[in-house]
């Protein structure tokens, strides 16, 4: 089991969260299962950037992003060197993660 520390996000997780998640699960699935309603407009198929996260700690323990993810990340709002799509970032064994959900996403279909 690994821990994911979610830094506070004004809408999705105002208090922040600490989640215990099994290795091999995606960060997106772990967040959703624990009530952090991160956007995932493409239904986690690596076709958009709405589940973009920044991995503040533990980034090096993640497997490298594949080309499709890297291409999409280039379009993400607030891209940083440790950005990942949470639907593609698989939780490593025995390494805790600290993640930040950017304040904005590029989701042209989002209902307000």
Q: What is the DSSP letter of 90?
A: B
Show me where the domains of the chain are located: 2-100
What is the rounded distance in angstroms from the CA atom of residue 112 to the CA atom of residue 60?
A: 36
Q: Tell me, what's the pLDDT at 104?
A: 82
Q: Tell me, what's the pLDDT at 106?
A: 72
Q: What is the pLDDT along the chain (112 residues), one digit of tens a residue?
A: 999 999 999 999 999 999 999 999 999 999 999 999 999 999 999 999 999 999 999 999 999 999 999 999 999 989 999 999 999 999 999 899 999 999 888 765 444 4
Check if CATH label 3.10.20.30 holds for domain 2-100.
Answer: yes
């Amino acid at each position: 089991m690994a821990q994911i520390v979610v830094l506070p996000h004004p809408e999705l997780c105002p208090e922040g969260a600490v989640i215990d998640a099994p290795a091999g699960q995606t960060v997106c699935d772990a967040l959703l299962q624990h009530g952090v309603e991160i956007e995932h407009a493409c239904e986690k198929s690596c076709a958009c950037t709405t589940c973009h996260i920044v991995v503040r700690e533990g980034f090096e323990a993640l497997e490298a992003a594949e080309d499709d993810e890297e291409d999409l990340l280039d379009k993400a709002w607030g891209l940083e060197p440790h950005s990942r799509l949470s639907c593609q970032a698989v939780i490593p064994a025995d390494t805790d993660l600290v993640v930040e959900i950017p304040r904005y996403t590029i989701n042209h279909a989002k209902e307000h």
